[in-house]
Amino acid sequence: MVVVEQHDKKKSKRFALFLATCDSEFVKKAYGGYFNVFVSSFGDEGEQWDLFRVVDGDFPDEKDLDSYDGFIISGSPHDAFADADWIVKLCSLCEKLDEMKKKVLGICFGHQIITRVKGGKIGRASQGPDMGLRTITIAKDKEKLGLYFGDEVPASLAIVKCHQDQVLELPDSATVLASSEVCQVEMFSIGDHFLCIQGHPEYNKEILFEIVDRVLNMKLMEQEFADKAKSTMETAQPDKDLWQKLCKNFLKGQI
């Protein structure tokens, strides 16, 4: 476990990242690892952030869960519907967090894991893999998002997408918060404690391009597909500030 802590006079909020992917050489060199990408995106002064590399079997003790204010489950190249030991253990942990009504932000793989835990269905996206900058449409019923955005809820948001699986059937208890032409469930919530996003609010152009190049070099995609993914960010950028506001306010109850 890695800990980042900044002390102040008050008891600091405490969060944990469940990292479900390995750090690429690029991410280690450019950012010091994905953990730093998440903390720089969603962390604030005076907070403690802990890293658990769940992909390597590193999990918190159950007795320590109540000491956390919130959790993030990262993306992953692994299938959320698979039954590897660490994935099954992560599902069990999410069930416990659900019982405790702990705040959990699920991103991409994490979005799908929570779907699985709550009884929904996940699988390969019918339209195939999706990589690049995409615009998703916020649901017309904006009451839920108004709790996190405040008075100005955007009609749409740009986000980096990088996935081949998606939610096929929502859990009964879920509320869809955003959709797109190629994915009906881009974002959903369950109660006030689960917020799930198919895209990557923590990604930027640099990270996306490195993933595209790496997958291309592994011969897992065609050059034309890679070029199209990169072209989406030639003149546009994700709505990083708005995604940070949404995710921070959800995790920390700042509104």
User: What is the pTM (predicted TM-score) of this model?
Assistant: 0.93
- Residue 129 has what pLDDT? 85
Active site residues: 108, 200, 202
Render pLDDT for 148-171 as a digit per residue (tens, 0 to 9).
888 789 999 999 999 999 999 999
pLDDT by residue for the chain (255 residues), tens only, comes to 666 654 444 578 999 999 999 999 999 999 999 999 999 999 999 999 999 999 999 999 999 999 999 999 999 999 999 999 999 999 999 999 999 999 999 999 999 999 999 999 999 998 888 899 999 999 987 777 888 888 789 999 999 999 999 999 999 999 999 999 989 999 999 999 999 999 999 999 999 999 999 999 888 889 999 999 999 999 999 999 999 999 999 999 864
- SS3 string, the chain, reads CEEEECCCCCCCCEEEEECCCCCCHHHHHHHCCHHHHHHHHHCCCCCEEEEECHHHCCCCCHHHHHHCCEEEECCCCCCCCCCCHHHHHHHHHHHHHHHHCCEEEEECHHHHHHHHHCCCEEEECCCCCEEEEEEEEECCCCHHHHHHHCCCCCCEEEEEEEECEEEEECCCCEEEEEECCCCCCCEEEECCCEEEECCECCCCHHHHHHHHHHHHHCCCCCHHHHHHHHHCCCCCCCCHHHHHHHHHHHHHCCC
End-to-end Cα distance, the chain: 31
